[in-house]
Structure 1
Amino acid sequence: MDVAISVSDVPDTAAEIRSLFRWLQRDDDLSGATVRLAPAAPGPEEMGATVSDVLVALGSGGMGAVLARSLSVWVQHRTSDVKLTFRGKNGTVKLDGKRIKDPVAVIKALREAAGE
């Protein structure tokens, strides 16, 4: 399962993306996954590139459930509701912060976006 995860409806999107990236990298249960940042083109008022997404390559074997649990816990540590967007080979799925706290909803969104 390969999925790009973006964060929206937060004051500092780049900071939240970096926070999510660090969170997923430190999750021992995701040690078999590849987690990296996707650069975004700088805007007209920006001096350099920023980040737009966290890219996660899970492979197979039920790692989607592990990622969903990790995302649910990360969201619970946010001070405000965030919206996550999952993009995969099957398209795009968006979840608001309230639904993200339900790991089952996250698993469903991940599978829908990734085509599994």
Structure 2
Amino acid sequence: DIDVEDYYSAFLEMVRNLLDGNMETSQYEDQLREMFTIHAYIAFTMDKLIQSIVRQLQHIVSDEICVQVTDLYLSECANKATGGSLSTQASRGSAESAYQRKAEQLMSDENCFK
């Protein structure tokens, strides 16, 4: 039995064990049900969510276009073309348009959405 105060740390440990292959999915779900009763379903897919995030991050760092787009974004942040909490459309309009053109050229073979 696990004390209620320790549920969060126990949950994190179970997710780690599941992702490392040291725990079966059925055991993971059973322990979650025991701890969180009917609210356990929220955590049932945590492993799949983490795996999906890892796949996306691997794609971002390994795909050349993704790396170039990330570099473009970081360079345009310095130009204030990416906005910010205090930027207005009027103050960043021309920089944002130039940023958009650069991104469209960089991803000419991709679908771009604004």
**TM-score scaled by length of structure 2:** 0.26
The structure where helix makes up a greater share of residues is 2
Give 1 or 2 for the bigger CA radius of gyration: 2
The structure where strand makes up a greater share of residues is 1
The higher relative CO (CA closer than 8 Å, separation ≥ 6) is in 1
**TM-score scaled by length of structure 1:** 0.26
